[in-house]
Amino acid sequence: MIGLDDLKTRCDRIAEERARLETRLASLTQHQQEQARHASLTVSLEEFCRNSRTALQNPSFETKQRILRLVVDRIEVTDEQIMIKHMFSNRINPQAESCNVLRVRPCSSFYRVRLVVHPPLPGGT
């Protein structure tokens, strides 16, 4: 026969063990949900890449226009040149936040294009 004190001790140990197992179960459930989200994101990213690749193989005029609107920051026109300022990573220094400028100057009936990369200004602009 088990005494009352011994039974209380066993019940306390069982309650502690149950709480520990419930905590562990919650942790494993959260980990499983994170893995499912990660797998879903991977599939979504792969699908996005596949769709982007397909759209860019033979882009429509609207697609080209949307891409240009995403890339071009502003266009400045003077009497002697057209400057197309665009934002994207600098291949020489990808960490540098620079504004790349595409200068288009009249040359006969065509335009001559020269890419000029300006270093970032102090203050990040």
How do residues 82-91 score in pLDDT, each as one tens digit?
777 776 655 5
Is 122 part of a structural domain of the chain?
A: no
- 32 and 66 fall within a common domain: no
In order along its 125 residues, the chain shows pLDDT tens digits of 788 899 999 999 999 999 999 999 999 999 999 999 888 888 888 888 888 888 788 888 888 888 888 888 788 888 777 777 776 655 555 554 445 555 555 544 444 444 444 555 555 44
Find out whether 118 and 93 touch, Cβ atoms under 8 Å: no
Which residue in the block uniquely carries the two structure tokens 């699908």? 47
Q: Answer yes or no: is 70 within a domain.
A: yes
Residues 54 and 2 in one domain: yes
Q: pLDDT tens digits, residue range 60-75? A: 888 888 888 888 878 8
Count of domains observed in the chain: 2
How far is the C-alpha of 89 from the C-alpha of 92, rounded, in Å? 9
pLDDT of residue 105: 53
Instruction: Verify that 46 and 66 share a domain, yes or no.
Output: no
* Domain enclosing residue 85, as ranges: 61-117
Burial class for 19, CB neighbours closer than 10 Å (0-12, 13-18, 19+): exposed
Quote the CA–CA distance of 18 and 11 in Å, as a whole number.
10
